Amino acid sequence: MALADCYCPDIGAPAKSIRLLVGLHYLKHAFNESDESLLERWVENPYWQHFCGFTMMQHEMPLHPTSLTKWRQRVGAEMLSETISLALREKQVTKRELAQVIVDTTVQEKNITHPTDSKLYRTAIVKLGRAAKQRGVTLRQTYIRVSKQAAIMVSRYAHAKQFKRMRRKLKKLRTWLGRVIRDVRRQVPEPDESLEELLRLCERLHAQEQTDRRKLYSLHEPEVMCISKGKAHKRYEFGQKVSVSTTNRGNWIVGVELCAGNPYDGHTLAKAIASIEDTTRVSVTDAYVDKGYRGHDYSGDACVHLSGSSTRNLSRTKKKRRSAVEPKIGHLKSDNRMTRCFLKGLTGDAINAVLAAAGSNLQKLLRAFAHALVLGARPVLTGVKRLQTPRLAPVLAA
């Protein structure tokens, strides 16, 4: 099995079966559940238990929710490629369809509040005070109480459009943060690794200006980028850019790639097509992209069709299909937990995007197999074979 490396029977406590853990992650993103609500529904649902390999009804949770967090850090693109392999075996998609793809980018927002200077200064002061207290260091002044009042007044002055007063309060908060940083540096000349990382982030926050690039927007997620996609209702989004690739026919997701650092869309195309071919084991012949990919970095054998002038020789149907990726991205966010990433760091961003894509493909497969749950029912979808109930979960097979 592709995920056999995630299982080790010799280290630590006896491990849970791979089928259980893989099945739980598929169900989590197919039905948009948190770790806790997923296990609560799993106890009540015999179909979910059968999907995870159980033959008898279970009345207790199979594991603790934290076990999902630990195992999730080991998985990769295999979760997505298994759904494509199953779709190929069951003739839900053909290799010709996999060779024609649509590529676009979106923003996967991070689980942070809207960043403001007053909020960040206040958070940095509190974190430094707490870290110093944990290490037995007594600061000259923590500024925790006065910084809270100052942060409140900043928001009030901004609402009242009293910007001179607002800037004076911001300057005070920044001054207080600098004093706390210097006090900690003096009293702890050789800080441990975690304190050094916190001090480095606070010094970066203290030094940055309003017009700087690559600013710090969160102390617990320092990799977060400010990305503008030209949306009228949401000028800026704070997270990471993700490349999403779907088939031109059927909207199967065949590639999801994290684009850390907010690169230009055209500079992500070569990596996206390589990821598609690695996932599907099929060479891409046609890639349909929007005008944001002008000047792209792809130099392979596939033909890249830019929307607009480059599609003059294409049929009207193929021209229209390029925009089909947009609602698919919307469903990924609303139905498959890609609206906001709750996992930590860049690794968490990549894992969440892959699992969301796998959950979306699993939804399509379950709809195709729905009539097979009743033995002897004739499927409505073209190309779906008559399936017996035990074959509902072949995605977890070797």
**Six-digit token string for 376:** 């002897």
Q: Is 333 exposed, middle or buried (0-12, 13-18, 19+ CB in 10 A)?
A: middle
pLDDT over 60 (residue 185): yes
Q: Rounded CA gap, 147 and 125, in Å?
A: 8
Cα gap 153→219, rounded to integer Å: 22
- Averaged pLDDT, 368-380: 58
> Residue type for 271, please?
K
Assess whether pLDDT exceeds 50 at residue 298: yes
- Binned at pLDDT 50, 70 and 90, residue 310 comes out as low
- CB-side neighbour CA atoms (13 Å) of 186: 9
Query: What pLDDT, in 10s, does the model give residues 34-60?
Result: 999 999 999 999 999 999 999 999 999
Q: Is the pLDDT of residue 317 over 90?
A: no
Share of the chain above pLDDT 90, in %: 74
Opening angle at CA 83, ends 78 and 87, nearest 5: 145
**Residue 395: C-alpha distances to residues 51, 76, 303 (Å):** 10, 15, 32
Mean pLDDT of 70-99: 89
Q: Does residue 396 carry a pLDDT above 70?
A: no
Q: How far apart are CA 381 and CA 305, in angstroms?
A: 30
56 Cβ neighbours under 8 A, 6+ residues apart: none
Q: Is 245 helix (H, G, I), strand (E, B) or coil?
A: strand
CA atoms within 13 A on the CB side of 170: 20
Mark 85-98 as b/e (b = at least 16 C-beta within 10 Å): bbbbebebbeeebb
Q: Could you give the maximum distance between any two Cα atoms of the chain, in Å?
A: 78
Q: Which residue has the higher pLDDT, 92 or 396?
A: 92
Q: For all residues of the chain together, what is the average pLDDT?
A: 88
Least confident of 73-77, 189-193, 269-273, 374-378: 374-378
Token output for 358? 């796998």
3-state secondary structure of 239: strand
Tokens standing for residue 241: 């850019």
User: Has residue 371 got a pLDDT over 90?
Assistant: no
Averaged over 335-358, what is the pLDDT?
94
* pLDDT at 94 (0 to 100): 94
Distance between CA atoms of 111 and 340, rounded to whole angstroms?
6
Domains annotated for the chain, with CATH where assigned, are 4-76+369-396 (no CATH), 82-112+226-358 (3.30.420), 117-216 (no CATH)
Q: How far apart are CA 41 and CA 353, in angstroms?
A: 23
Q: Residue 226: helix, strand or coil by DSSP? A: strand
- Which residues are bridge partners to 227 per DSSP? 237
Q: What is the CA radius of gyration of the chain?
A: 25
Query: Rounded distance, CA 216 to CA 224, Å?
Result: 8
DSSP string, 61-120: -SS-HHHHHHHHTT--THHHHHHHHHHHHTTSS-HHHHTEEEEEEEEEEES-PPP-HHHH
Q: Is the pLDDT of residue 115 over 50?
A: yes
* pTM given for the model: 0.85
Mean pLDDT calculated for residue range 130-155:
96
C-alpha to C-alpha distance for 137 and 119, rounded to whole angstroms: 24
What does the pLDDT average to over 98-127?
A: 96
pLDDT at residue 239 is higher than 80: yes
Query: In the chain, pLDDT over 70 holds for what percent of residues?
Result: 87
Checking if the pLDDT of 313 tops 70, the result is no
